[in-house]
């Protein structure tokens, strides 16, 4: 059994390989070529354990993630966990890898895929609201897929963004990019062509004014429960459609369930990324308006496909620790 820690995983596969795996995951899901039950939550008050099993593409995997909201106050990560890969023929455990690293890599890649297809080609600025673990990886992928020259940051609670900026600079060290800290989300919005939100917010992060949102590419990844919101209702007067991963997102995320309940959004405007990618690869490029919106809640097949490419590349490059038990 191969054990992969964070360092191993970062060395194994490059960003574009993980984005390609996420594109494949979107398509497999929409072609119904996987078994992907809704994620199973075990909760004790606000402490959540998530279990995300999936079968697809000749591999079986389960991610187990702990989401403990009090952790950041204790200086501990909000998310932690484990990914297990099993052999499709025998069920034998083939690999164990760090769940929080996989989550950040695959969620960053999902945002990267959205920017690849939805952000205007000549976008040079990206804003991030929520400078935590997911936010860091969202920016790393954004810089991979567009020629970013300016990054704008805003976080309502982080008192000191220097450690975040240090990590970001290390990760994008080969690029000449200006990094700016904003006073509030409105300042960030006014400067950014691509806007990423990666928070645990319960109220929209931006003022409900369509003029301020117009023409931008939004990637909202934070809201994954009905009481969580990042995007204001004004977005619905600007976009023809919202793109997401799976129908369950409409129940899970307040960014979708609340406007659906209010009638601001109707199901015919909820589109799936896998269908978009299939249409595009068949030469039917779906028409996009000037404002674009990708709402992510994540799905177990992202973990499976990202873990598979990391595992295969690790074996090829002889990375990781083999354990016999």
1 versus 161: smaller Cβ distance to ligand NAD:
161
**Counting contacts by CB under 6 A, is residue 205 touching ligand NAD?**
yes
166 vs 170: CA distance, rounded Å: 6
Q: Using CB under 6 A, pick the residue from 3, 40, 157, 166 that binds ligand NAD.
A: 157
**Counting contacts by CB under 6 A, is residue 298 touching ligand NAD?**
yes
43 vs 268: CA distance, rounded Å: 33
How near is the Cβ of 164 to ligand NAD at its closest, in Å?
Answer: 8
130 versus 320: smaller Cβ distance to ligand NAD:
130
111 versus 320: smaller Cβ distance to ligand NAD:
111
Q: 196: which residues sit within 8 A by CB, 6+ positions away?
A: 111, 126, 127, 128, 129, 135, 138, 139, 142, 218, 219, 220, 221
For residue 14 the two structure tokens come to 């490059």
Distances (CA, A) of 174 to 144, 200, 203: 11, 31, 36
Residue, CB closest to ligand NAD: 132
Which segment (3-11, 26-34, 84-92, 154-162) binds ligand NAD by CB under 6 A?
A: 154-162
Pick from 59, 36, 112, 41: nearest CA to 299: 36
Say how many C-beta atoms besides its own lie within 10 A of residue 77's C-beta: 16
How near is the Cβ of 229 to ligand NAD at its closest, in Å?
Answer: 10
Q: Which H or E run includes 125?
A: strand 125-129
**Counting contacts by CB under 6 A, is residue 158 touching ligand NAD?**
yes
Which segment (53-61, 166-174, 194-202, 259-267) binds ligand NAD by CB under 6 A?
A: 194-202
Residues of this chain that interact with ligand NAD (CB under 6 A) are 67, 72, 78-79, 103, 107, 129-135, 155-158, 198-201, 205, 221-222, 224, 296-298
């Amino acid at each position: 059994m191969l054990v992969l820690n964070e360092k191993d995983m970062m060395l194994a596969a490059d960003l574009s390989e993980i984005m390609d795996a996420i594109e494949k995951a979107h398509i497999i899901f929409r072609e119904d070529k996987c078994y992907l039950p809704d994620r199973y939550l075990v909760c004790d008050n606000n402490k959540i354990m998530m279990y995300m099993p999936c079968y697809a593409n000749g591999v079986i995997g389960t991610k187990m993630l702990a989401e403990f909201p009090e952790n950041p106050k204790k200086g501990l990560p909000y998310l932690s966990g484990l990914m297990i890969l099993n052999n499709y023929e025998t069920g034998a455990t083939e690999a164990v890898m760090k769940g929080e690293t996989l989550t950040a890599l695959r969620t960053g890649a999902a945002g990267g895929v959205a920017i690849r297809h939805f952000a205007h080609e000549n976008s040079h600025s990206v804003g991030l609201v929520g400078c935590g673990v997911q936010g860091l990886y969202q920016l790393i992928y954004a810089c991979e897929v567009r020629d970013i020259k300016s990054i704008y940051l805003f976080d309502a609670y982080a008192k000191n963004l220097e450690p975040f900026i240090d990590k970001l600079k290390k990760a994008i060290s080969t690029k000449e990019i200006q990094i700016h800290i904003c006073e509030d989300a409105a300042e960030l919005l006014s400067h950014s062509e691509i806007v990423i939100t990666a928070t645990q917010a319960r109220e929209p992060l931006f003022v409900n004014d369509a003029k301020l949102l117009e023409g931008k590419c939004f990637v909202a990844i934070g809201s994954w429960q009905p009481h969580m919101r990042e995007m204001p209702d004004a977005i619905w007067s600007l976009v023809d459609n919202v793109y997401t991963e799976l129908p369950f997102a409409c129940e899970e995320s307040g960014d979708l369930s609340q406007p659906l309940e209010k009638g601001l959004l109707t199901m015919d405007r909820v589109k799936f990324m896998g269908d978009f990618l299939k249409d595009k690869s068949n030469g039917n490029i779906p028409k996009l308006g000037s404002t674009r919106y990708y709402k992510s809640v994540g799905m177990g097949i992202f973990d499976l496909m990202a873990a598979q490419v990391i595992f295969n590349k690790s074996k090829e490059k002889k990375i990781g620790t083999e354990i016999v038990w």
